[in-house]
Amino acid sequence: MDINDLQNDYESMTLTIAGWMQKVLTNMGVPQEWIIYVKLVVLLTLVIVTVYILQWLVRTVLTFLFRRAEKITKMSFFGYTVNNKLPHYLALVIPYSFVRGTIPIVFFDFKGAIGPLIKLTDIYLVFMVIWTVMALLRSFGDLLQEKPAFKQKPMKSYFQVIQMILFIFGAVVVYAILTGRSATAFFAAMGAASAVLLLMFKDSIMGFVGSIQITTNDMVRIGDWITMNKYGADGNVEDITLTTVKVRNFDKTITTIPTYALISDSFQNWRGMQQSGGRRFRRALNVKYESIRFLTDEELEKFKKVDGLAEYIKNKQAVYAKLNKASSDSELPLNKHAITNCDLFMQYGIYYLRNHPDINPNLTLLVRQLASTTQGLPIELYTFTNTTVWAEYETILAEIMNHLISVIKYFGLVIYEESSGSDDYNVYMKQLD
């Protein structure tokens, strides 16, 4: 049996059903002028109910089969297909075939509507294919993100690019269905509208280029802590799409940043700090200039009892003794090399940090003087903790600063602080004659 025989049988069946419906409705007493409309309503209702039942049955069976396959094979891919509605889209194939075949029967009395409705059904098939392919790709994407190598990759932006390409091809097919012309004519028509299309899809195109550069250069991953003051972002990257990057700030608000902005603007990525195993600690104490002085031999003997200072004091005394011998008058303070209380405090700070259990010994550790200011001489602590957890970091920082603030007075140093209106002053009044 060839295609012509099948077509003839189909047309014969259509005529038979139409004639039977005409006879039944006439016998029921339906007016002649209303028969075609009543027949249309009845057939449409039957088609809709049948389509719903077919789709539900096929979807239920496919979902059951995918779930069983997941349990038997232990492959999570089948579970992801259900989550991404692959059975739902596959179940539309049979209803589509049924609807397309019944259009000539349902609209037998409305010949002019059959052609456009078949075209609309074919257009629907195009979108159905795109949805099915995207559900399958998303399932593969979910499976890939189980792997450590892909867990932090912006998979969603890749799939959005594929989705755009599929929709472009879909638009070409829809154009061919509606006009009956080839794809070449479509691209010729789009050439004239290319400027408008570029303007419409500017953000998507820039986001696509940005996504490629971000991925190629490994600039941002999902889970990275980034800071971008221009957009008020300070938190962890939750999602990277073709056009936006979603950042959940530490105050639980969400900031969305255009993907291409990560290429055109500067931002701070804290991943390097987290991977290093330590977070930088940089704080300064401002010391009053007038409290800095030379220490006497008696004071140095007392400081030798402090852990970490004895060896330093002995070495410095030996070095300075040789230098002072060359001086014409070593008793004069201006001609004398001597240890100051600020020297000892800085050395104590180095010893304390090096022996602190929460400081990373493999990273930079400094206690240094910064440039003089009108608020005193800044003594800066520059080191790294051995944790990157924010709460733990803040606790360690507070404990160290509190300790050094508490001991600085034992070195005879005074921390500079601006006075307030509530400060108490001892004022002595002298009576004048």
The overall average pLDDT reported for the chain is: 78
| pTM of the shown model | 0.50
Least confident among 92-101, 276-285, 301-310, 399-408: 92-101
State the pLDDT confidence band at 9, using cuts at 50, 70 and 90.
very low
Using CB atoms within 10 Å of the CB of residue 400, give its burial: 0 to 12 exposed, 13 to 18 middle, 19+ buried.
buried
Share of the chain above pLDDT 90, in %: 16
Residues 6+ apart with CB under 8 A from 379: 284, 285, 286, 287, 342, 345, 346, 349, 367, 368, 369, 370
- Position 432, amino acid: L
Regarding predicted confidence, which is higher, 214 or 268? 268
- In three-state secondary structure terms, 268 is strand
CA dist 6 and 104 (Å) reads 15
How high is the pLDDT of residue 157?
A: 65
How high is the pLDDT of residue 8?
A: 45
Regarding predicted confidence, which is higher, 277 or 50? 50
How high is the pLDDT of residue 409?
A: 92
CA dist 428 and 2 (Å) reads 122
How high is the pLDDT of residue 203?
A: 67
Q: What is the pLDDT of residues 160-171, one digit of tens each?
A: 677 777 777 777
Task: Tell me which residue has tokens 């400060």.
Answer: 423
CA dist 192 and 153 (Å) reads 37
Whole-Å CA distances, 263 to 75, 154, 211, 377, 420: 38, 15, 9, 41, 47
CA dist 78 and 100 (Å) reads 30
Q: Where are the alpha helices (DSSP H) in 183-270?
A: 183-192, 194-200, 202-216, 261-264
Q: Which two tokens stand for residue 112?
A: 């002019």
Q: Which two tokens stand for residue 236?
A: 């962890």
Query: CA angle, corner 67, sides to 70 and 132, nearest 5?
Result: 100
CA dist 232 and 254 (Å) reads 10
Q: Which two tokens stand for residue 149?
A: 């190598």
State the pLDDT confidence band at 14, using cuts at 50, 70 and 90.
low
Average pLDDT for residues 288-311, to the nearest whole number? 90
How high is the pLDDT of residue 287?
A: 94
How high is the pLDDT of residue 35?
A: 61
Contact 339, 294 (CB under 8 A): yes
Q: What is the pLDDT of residues 310-368, one digit of tens each?
A: 999 999 888 888 887 766 665 666 667 889 999 999 999 999 999 999 998 888 899 99
Task: Classify the phi-psi angles of 163: left when phi > 0, otherwise alpha if psi is within -120 to 50, otherwise beta.
Answer: alpha
CATH 2.30.30.60, the chain: domain bounds = 182-269
Q: What CATH architecture applies to the domain 182-269?
A: Roll (2.30)
CB neighbours (10 Å) of residue 326?
8
